[in-house]
Amino acid sequence: MDGPQSLAPIAAPPARARRTAMMRLLGRGLETHVALPLFALLLVAALWLATLHMVRQEEQAARAAAAQATLELVDTYEAQMARSLSGIDQTLRVLQYAVEMNGPGAALGAMSAKGLLPPGVVFQVAIVGADGHILAANPSVRRGSDVSNSPWFAVHRERDGNAPFVSETIGRHEPHVVFSRRINDGAGRFAGVASVAVDPAFFTSSYEYSRLGARGLLGVAGEDGVVRAARVGDEVSWGQRIALGRPERVALGRVGVDAALRYASSRPLNGFPLVAVVGLSETEQMAAFAQQRRTWLLGAGAGTALLVLAVSLVSAWSWQLAKARRRERLAQETYAAASEASLDAFFVLRTVRAHDGAVLDFLIETTNSRAEQLTGLAKERMQGKRMSILLPTYLGIGIFDDLAAVASDGVAREAEWLAHELPHPDRWLHRQVVPVEGGVVAIVRDITERKLAEQRIRHLAHHDDLTGLPNRSLLRDRLGQAIRDAERKGGSVGLAFIDLDGFKLVNDGLGHNAGDELLKVVGARMGRCLRRNDTLARFGGDEFVILLPDLSSDPLALTPLLEKVRQAVTEPVEVEGQEVQVSCSMGVVLYPRDGQDANTLMMNADAAMYRAKENKNSFQFYASEMNASVEEKLVLLEGMRSALDACPGKACQFQLLYQPKIDLRTGRLFGVEALIRWNHPEHGMISPLRFIGLAEESGLIVPLGEWVLRTACAQGQAWRDAGLPEVAISVNVSARQFEEKRLVERIDGALRDSGLPPGLLEVEVTESSIMRDLARAVDKMREIEAMGVALSIDDFGTGYSSLSALKSFPISRLKIDKSFVADLAHSQDDQAIAMAVISLGHKLDLRVIAEGVETEEQRDFLRANDCDEMQGYLYSRPVPPERIAELLAEQGAAREAA
């Protein structure tokens, strides 16, 4: 009996609550402003369902019509193309027969006499001999023209059979598609090719705007997917690769000719490896449907708008009545929910006043859950208690004064403070106190994370995120303050601009992680060398700056400290499991001797640092003439830009000289190296030593190198056109050029535009440029090799390539650097190096060339040790192209005489 009686009081309240909630929902649903919109929503849904159903039916009909029209067009176009191709094939067969009966010389005449030649305006008929030279053509072309390298000729030469072949569209100015058949002699051997070249526009001449529209597609593609001719409107194009769909089917998609969406179908053309392609623009075909769809949708929208307007007016009246009843209840519920969900602590306080109206204390009326977490006290414990009893610590830190002031004058106040007595001490808090009737509301928020974030932001704004050192912003602030202090006290300020020597080699060779680790170790070492009030900052990259305030005016007083820094930097560092060593170059300035402001001091320190880098691992005090050297570089840089803008053309200041390369065994001139010179209108002939490095730093080496490459290729082809013996041309490619993404494309463009065979071009690269990124360098070298261009390593022996890397390079020649050749007759070390390079090259099946050969003793030593080639002043200095032409002519005459 006790069990059921004890359960009934517990179960009843939840049941009553559920029934009450259901009745409330039912009553709200029966209110006019709820029921009427629901009914209207059903009407709108029915209206739109009917409208969309009609739209879908119309769309399906329109798409079916477009597909049917596409099939009809492809049928028509297939028939037209079949007739045209049949005529072309008939011409090829007659041409084969005429060659067999009359010979290649009289075949076209015989066909012309019988009226069998097609019109020359559209078709070019040609007979090509077995060696690839044109024997006869209509319309006539230059007799003897060589087409042996053309794919359509190579196919018939290398493959037996009588099947026709259709080339891709070729030619820029006069594009054409070549149809060809093999010609055999009486013994069945390859005797040549009969060809008919057709303008690609011929295949799309049947384009009709009335059927295809302005964006329709009509075209012919090969079974390989390459377009031979395609017409869209008035535009004829070719060469694109398209995806061929299944024959006899219509597909909606982007064919590949352009980005337009079309209904497309294709049909193979019997007898030829071609496919007829027809496409109708989806936009044009669906235009009528789109207009009709807009009409349907506008009608449905207008009906919906009228219905919504009527329902809105009625519902608004009902809503105003219901809103008034719920406003008070919602306000109470909203406040309770907001205070509980808020991240802020709420304290509702009632003022306790004295007889004279002065504020004595505050009574805690209510709080939220966040207030419980903040104070560590339960809500029930705080409610109804005086603040002075429950939270006495707050009365002594100014908070009570704020509360009393707000309760007295009614002006809201806010403040931040660091709390020490909370359950979680040392937290930053923000309070906002606002007046309410009979008391105040205190809103307290924990802002510790924001404060910490602000501190981190301030630190990051003035410090380098890698090394933790001050950055250039903080350095400039401290430099300005040091200058003001020195000016007031009559003292001096030192500034040392530091650049690491050899850092780029470590960064490129071992990776950026190793470089970052090296920067942190070196920065820490330099910091330990400084005084307490000195500043070491990272200026960017591998550049550091040391600020030395409160100095005497004697520069020599800085020497011990700078030497200590230099020695600390040069100590070996182990990064990524490998021991590396760098040095530093320092430029030093003193205020006020070398500048009166921060910008001048920084600029002069930078100039002194660049002078120090000429010797490496040293420090250099600033001298006024250093800026003159910088200004000279700027003048040369601007002059170089202007000179490049004038090239190519008669006003080009750059010119190429060519130094002969000689075979040491035969004495034959087999190649030349292209060397650039700058003939400045004011400064005369400028050595490459002065401007090549500047071009590397500024990035102008890329357009300058492309000019050298194109000029050298054009000159090589000019020698060939003059009937001179063929000679290989070597072109140097700098590290900056070799890393450039478009290098292979630029080489291909220079060869294509000049007509120079790839086998007559050699690209010379240095060891250091290859080793920066070995894997990528080898891939790029293989791309160049695949073009047929030779590769050689310049200045071999001065870099740091390993033998394991060397054997993977696709190169044909090693060049012994002139620094090893200069003392070859006297230095046993240089002799040993030269012999080692020659032996290594021959072991790897490479030819070896020595540069800088100036004496007979050097030549005799190289010849005695089986060096293959040489170049240098002993045979010839770099000379203009006219002199190379003379040497080649003399060599050719001597060979004929022999």
Show the CA angle centred on residue 628, arms to residues 625 and 631, nearest 5°: 160
> Please, are residues 824 and 857 in contact by the beta-carbon 8 Å criterion?
yes
With tokens 């307290």, the residue in question is 444
Q: Is the pLDDT of residue 802 over 70?
A: no
pLDDT (average), residues 244-270: 85
- Phi and psi of 217, rounded to 5°? -125, 130
The mean-pLDDT minimum among 110-119, 351-360, 791-800, 871-880 falls in 791-800
Show the CA angle centred on residue 403, arms to residues 401 and 404, nearest 5°: 65
Q: pLDDT value at position 3?
A: 41
Q: Is the pLDDT of residue 6 over 80?
A: no
The span from the CA of 583 to the CA of 556, in Å, is 21
Q: pLDDT value at position 4?
A: 39
pLDDT (average), residues 571-580: 86
pLDDT bracket for residue 11 (50, 70, 90): very low
Q: pLDDT value at position 10?
A: 39
Task: Single out the residue of 207, 247, 799, 865 nearest to residue 505, CA to CA.
Answer: 799
Q: pLDDT value at position 7?
A: 35
- Cβ atoms < 10 Å from Cβ of 897: 6
Q: Is the pLDDT of residue 389 over 60?
A: yes
Q: What is the mean pLDDT of the chain?
A: 85
Q: Is the pLDDT of residue 741 over 90?
A: no
Digit-coded pLDDT (tens) for 372-382: 877 778 888 88
- Cβ atoms < 10 Å from Cβ of 188: 8
The mean-pLDDT minimum among 489-493, 640-644, 692-696, 840-844 falls in 692-696
- Cβ atoms < 10 Å from Cβ of 793: 23
Residues in contact with 687: Cβ distance below 8 Å, sequence separation at least 6, in sequence order: none
Digit-coded pLDDT (tens) for 533-547: 999 999 888 899 999
Q: pLDDT value at position 397?
A: 64
Residues in contact with 26: Cβ distance below 8 Å, sequence separation at least 6, in sequence order: none
Q: pLDDT value at position 656?
A: 93
The CA–CA distances, whole Å, from 658 to 88, 549, 693, 716 equal 52, 57, 21, 11
Q: pLDDT value at position 2?
A: 42
Residue 320 corresponds to which amino acid?
Q
Q: Is the pLDDT of residue 9 over 60?
A: no
Predicted TM-score (pTM) of the model is 0.42
Digit-coded pLDDT (tens) for 459-518: 778 888 889 999 988 999 999 999 999 988 888 999 999 999 888 878 776 778 888 999
pLDDT (average), residues 652-679: 93
Q: pLDDT value at position 24?
A: 66
Q: In what order do the strands lie in the sheet with 345-353?
A: 359-367, 345-353, 439-446, 427-436, 413-419
- Of residues 9 and 271, the one with the higher pLDDT is 271
Q: Is the pLDDT of residue 5 over 50?
A: no
Q: pLDDT value at position 744?
A: 92
Q: pLDDT value at position 543?
A: 92
With tokens 């306080």, the residue in question is 349
Q: Is the pLDDT of residue 412 over 80?
A: yes
Q: Is the pLDDT of residue 526 over 90?
A: yes
Please tell me what DSSP assigns to residue 687. Answer: P
Q: Is the pLDDT of residue 355 over 70?
A: yes
Residue 342 corresponds to which amino acid?
S
Q: pLDDT value at position 558?
A: 84
Digit-coded pLDDT (tens) for 139-165: 877 777 888 888 888 888 888 888 899
